Structure 1
Amino acid sequence: MIIAVQDVPGDALDRLTRPRADVAGLAMDRPHIMGILNATPDSFSDGGVHNSVSAAQSAAEQMVSQDATILDIGGESTRPGATFVPEDEEIARTRPLIEAIKSRTDVLISIDTRKFAVAKAAWEAGAGLINDVTGFTFDPQLAPFCAKVGAPVCVMHMQGDPGTMQDNPTYEDVLLDVYDFLDGQLDRLENLGLDRDQIIIDPGIGFGKTEAHNLALLQGISLFHGLGCPILLGVSRKGMIGQIGKEPRKDARAPGSIAVGLAGLSQGVQILRVHDVAETAQALRLWAAVR
């Protein structure tokens, strides 16, 4: 239902219009680049590239020099069809890397995990943001832990799990269904004691969605500002970029990824999660200049 601005309830209008608070020390009044750093052998685009701490640390330092303000460290692939990684293995992949990066730079590190034990180890190693692709639905201990330590979080929407999410994703209305899920999880996290001002939301492009679902979310992503949180957009090198852009090579999808990212920024998205940091930063500087 579409209503006039004067008929929007006061609390909803406040969430839409109030300035976003700083999250984990980052001002949300300008766009940010989150560099992807996967310490995995099987991630869809960069699996095996950062298979040693030294290689990953070098990549991290390069991303920071290219203007990434957040690094998202992952130890379990969430590509379609990915298999479960035991907690101890995921910790062994991520904790040494976080410690190494924090010894050389104060960049904000996000741990990309759905597991309490992994998040706890990463937090103790110096991570400053917990990014759960399941939107805090997988591990019942994770959200209470984040509330206890006051960790900023990112809540993503995913239908199903990585092993099954692309089998036959269906929605009544993908934009409203994802909105309602995120709204419900925000209420749950607030009830646990998390501050809404320290929560980022992510509609989960490509996670249990068809190409049509992804396009509908991208076309209407500004709707999510109604939740009162910064929005993260992760489309980098994903299947829809290759399909629509006619580029089968995953590492050659920077132009398409950037095009979609800039379209998101034009709707007020605050954070772009990307593989190609330098190229995205250059595009963002020009985008800002012409605005």
Structure 2
Amino acid sequence: MLRYIIQRLIGMIVVMFLVVTIVFVIVRVTPGDPAAVMLGPEATQADIEGLRAKLGLDRSLPVQYGYYLLQLLRGDLGQSIFLGQPVAHALAERAEPTFFLTLFSILIASAIALPVGIYAAVKRGSFFDQTATALAMFAASIPSFWLGLLLMQVFAVRYGLFPVSGYGGPDTSFGERMMHLVLPSFALGIVSSALIMRFTRASMLDVLGDDYVRTARAKGLNGRRVVMKHAFKNALIPILTVIGLTAAVLISGAVVTETVFGLPGVGNLVVSAVMRRDYPVIQGALLVIAALYVLINFAIDMLYLAVDPRVRY
């Protein structure tokens, strides 16, 4: 077990090194000069060259890459060019709405997908199973931003039950800020539930046909106990995998939803940084998102031990 954890940690370091290299190269080979973008169209060539020298953009790529690696080893993600503050501080300020949006979306998706997927597997071939499968396919094809606009029009504009957009001011209470996340969370949760529901149904179907399930039923055990204690517990590993990967995708992919609802999250920050060619923010955000992917995968592997004692690393 300890050997496996050490191997995974080494693998995580290698993956992050590759991510750092790829992000550094991609950001710098894209067309455009950040110094010219910052100074505007009226800037002279001398002004642009002076700013490039100040930002270190006049050095060769290997030299910039070396400085960047040393900077990361010190735990410094750099200084935002436009915001004038450390990238880590800028990401921390935007982390709350993105974190809670992801958390609520996963909870909503799981609350919808798990019971529907389990019952659809138990009632395989029934009208409920066919309807649930069709609705899951329909939900998977709905763009989250379109669903968000629809929810906004109905529940915010027409009935006034929730805020239309934004995240409240500095003095807004925590409860009021969470109210701003209800509609975007449902928009992402409903779309994400489709994949989780289909995986739950498929995993349960694989388990329900096993011999030990038929034996438990033959012994006269309660049907609900057979499904939940015996079948669902053994079908949980692929379900945990897809839930974890969905959470990782939501962290990095909620950009459009955050933009539609005017949420000051990490996605909005990345979009602004790309438009302004703010290299440090782009690199820092991508590295943090990649690190979260790696950590979530590692956490899922550790959860396998908790849900299935037969797993050995």
Between Structure 1 and Structure 2, which shows a larger proportion of strand residues? 1
Larger Rg computed on CA atoms? 2
State TM-score, norm by structure 2: 0.24
- TM-score, with structure 1 as normaliser: 0.25
Higher helix fraction (1 or 2): 2
Q: Which has the higher contact order (CA 8 A, sep 6+)?
A: 2
